[in-house]
Amino acid sequence: MLKTQTSLSTWSQERNMKWLVLLGLVTFSECIVKIPLRRVKTMRKTLSGKNILNNFLKEHAYRLSQISSCGSNLTFHPLRNIKDRLYVGNITIGTPPQEFQVIFDTGSSDLWVTSVFCTSPTCSTHVMFRHFDSSTFRPTKKTFSINYGSGRMKGVVVHDTVRIGDLVSTDQPFGLSVVELGFDGIPFDGVMGLNYPKLSFSGAIPIFDNLRNQGAISEPVFAFYLSKDEQEGSVVMFGGVDHRYYKGELNWIPLIQAGDWSVHMDSISMKRKVIACSGGCKAVVDTGTSLIEGPRRLVNNIQKLIRAMPRGSEYYVSCSAVNTLPPIIFTIKGINYPVPAQAYILKDSRGHCYPTFKENTVSTSTETWILGDVFLRLYFSVFDRGNDRIGLAQAV
């Protein structure tokens, strides 16, 4: 959902001055830190979603509870399914701490949350950072913007203390949004980018790098377990890997180049026939994208192969056909990663079944696929910054 495009835009000087004037007025651990994530579904159709969403959020306000020990630092969240699946977890910012629900996104590098100065209609549904309540807040004069696959934001860079469980990043640069567009019906307060520094649109050092530099993380590694079970939380873990979350061995895949969570994929096949990525291609492992995305022509071909029929701007399949459709196999470094139809076909709130393949709106010079949550629910993923590689194994 939140893959970033590679274009950076700037504001006019007048807008810069407006928000800058407003802003002017106003542990070291050797343990693995595990942050359970909450699985949510975003609205595919607007309909009366705004009122439904607002009432749902009021009735199901979450509470943060923590259990800390040397072996683990756990923050538990209740699961909330609203529609298409995405994963969010809680962080706090400021002194005293203010709590936010953010998407932990390997497809981007910037941390940002909604500010009290944001006047976009979407912002009224988000928790807003109250900078005037934080004694450790520090403003800057830098502005930035980010275009995501599902929306865009504009913001200003500031500094404050950020906490992920017991991990503390002091004087962490992050963004405060003043404009948010395209995020209607998505229950989140911001994004925590976990990609490499070179992909930061704000120019700020990402929080993972800051934690690493400050000695808060013993190993430069984090990992995701995205649960298929709506009754149990998903987990992102920092500083190591909990082997209970996967079966067998981790398969390590070197990055195409250090600086982006992208690997070389051998092929995509079905019934032993290559249907995409025939000469090898690029695969982006992205926890911030809910679906599997690729070039339009190849995605359309897959829709035909699984007998998906267009209905408006969406594709649907017969729910009775799900158990007869074959798995689609993604081959990476000689290892097959099958995705069965029960995983790549989902059911919406009206009981209609739809495939999770989508056209990638970002044009690239080479064939590129984005392996989002549909793929990552099946495969435990490890992001190893120290060795510039990704590990995959069958999730439990």
Per the annotation, the verdict on 105 as an active-site residue is: yes
Tokens representing 24 are 């002017």
Selecting among 189, 209, 286, 384, the annotated active-site residue is: 286
Backbone angles phi, psi at 189, to 5 degrees: -110, -5
Per the annotation, the verdict on 286 as an active-site residue is: yes
Q: Is 18 exposed, middle or buried (0-12, 13-18, 19+ CB in 10 A)?
A: middle
Provide the residue type at 183 as one letter. Answer: F
Distances (CA, A) of 43 to 37, 46, 109, 243: 19, 6, 25, 34
Selecting among 105, 160, 189, 209, the annotated active-site residue is: 105
Q: Is 331 exposed, middle or buried (0-12, 13-18, 19+ CB in 10 A)?
A: middle
Q: How far apart are CA 303 and CA 140, in angstroms?
A: 48
Q: Which residues are catalytic?
A: 105, 286
